Every structure is written in C-alpha cells, then in structure tokens.
Amino acid sequence: MADNKITLTLVKSLIGRLPAHKACAAGLGIRRMHQTVSVIDTPENRGMINKISYMLKVED
C-alpha cells in the first residue's frame, strides 16, 4: 500500500459541535482553527473525514 497523505485544515470551529464530531477531529490530530495536518489515507481516516467534512478543507 502506498504512503498516500491527505492534508486537512479545520475551517469551522469545534465549539458547539456534537461530541462524536469533536472526537473525530481529535482522532485526526486537529486541535484548533486553521490548523493543517497531514494524515495517511486509510479507510478509518476517510470515515472520520467524511463525518466532519463540513468543517474541513481537504487536499489530496
């Protein structure tokens, strides 16, 4: 399997979100607004990204 990375940036605040959505952001390593992280493209990470896609900017 290739070492594909996805770059994620949080563009909407975590304040007032569902606990499960906050947990997805934490699981992806996102802590604050406008923070950019790179994660490995796995089905688990894709599921978390899909769940909180309305808060993220995703770049392949």
Residue 21, amino acid: H
Q: Looking at residue 2, what is its pLDDT?
A: 58
pLDDT tens by residue, the chain, 60 residues? 457 999 999 999 999 999 999 999 999 999 999 999 999 999 999 999 999 999 999 998
Residues 6+ apart with CB under 8 A from 24: 48, 51, 52
Contact 19, 8 (CB under 8 A): no
* Residue 24 burial (C-beta neighbours within 10 Å; 0-12, 13-18, 19+): buried
Q: Looking at residue 3, what is its pLDDT?
A: 74
Q: Which domains does the chain have, with CATH numbers?
A: 5-59 (3.30.1390.20)
